[in-house]
Amino acid sequence: LSLGLGLSGCFRTATFTSAQPLEAGRHELAVRGNALGILSGTDGGAVAVGALRYRVGLDGTQDLGLSLGTDGAYLQYKRALVGGTTRLSLAPEVGGFFLGDDYTQFSAQVPLLVGWAVGGSHELTLAPRLGVVVGGDFDGRGDDFGVMPVAALSFGGTFRLGRTVRLVPEVALNYPVVALRDDVSWNHDFLVVEAGLALAFEFGGSD
């Protein structure tokens, strides 16, 4: 896997969550699968990603989540800013993964989740975000090291199937800008597309 796809792909552009935090004491367990690839530029490639995520509602306006998968371990905090039929939330996330001497990556991002209630129990969600990824071998012996600011946008929906099950499809785009250490030039003019689906199960709280 190229450094370009590693950095940009594992930025986790897709959010697979709604702008509405979980109710206090409510829990969610979700499994997701998605694929991503570079659409343009010379540093091409594609990869599939899967993960398991757990979230818990704190007080109705905040929730906390942990995701573990083939793209690493990530911690996400969601805070509602505006409620109602049009919802706004911030969902900062930090995480990364470690592959020994071959590759290590850390990332941080702050998505703004904009949600529109549909049909009473469903939601359409738009999520612009800014973030940064740092990845490489970190052994000081080569030039396989990158720092990548990323601008990204995802769009998806949260569709409830009864009280406890939610289906969450999503598509996303990100455009990275890369600077390598030691003044090594690298083509970073590419666009990454991502698409996937999550299946979430809620329990606890008022059940």
The CATH number assigned to the domain holding 21 equals 2.40.160.20
pLDDT tops 50 at residue 185: no
pLDDT in tens, 21-57: 999 999 999 999 988 877 765 556 677 889 999 999 9
pLDDT reported for residue 43:
56
Domain, as residue range, for 185: 3-204
Distance CA 64, CA 97 (A): 20
Residues near 155 by Cβ (< 8 Å), separated by ≥ 6? 124, 125, 126, 127, 170, 171, 172
Residue 180 is predicted with a pLDDT of: 55
Q: Is the pLDDT of residue 72 over 50?
A: yes
Spell out where 5-92 has E strands.
Answer: 26-38, 46-57, 62-69, 72-82, 86-90
Q: What are the φ and ψ backbone dihedral angles of 6, each rounded to 5 degrees?
A: -60, -50
The predicted model gives 149-165 an average pLDDT of 91
Question: Does the pLDDT of residue 85 top 80, yes or no?
Answer: yes
- Domains of the chain: total: 1
Q: Give the pTM.
A: 0.85
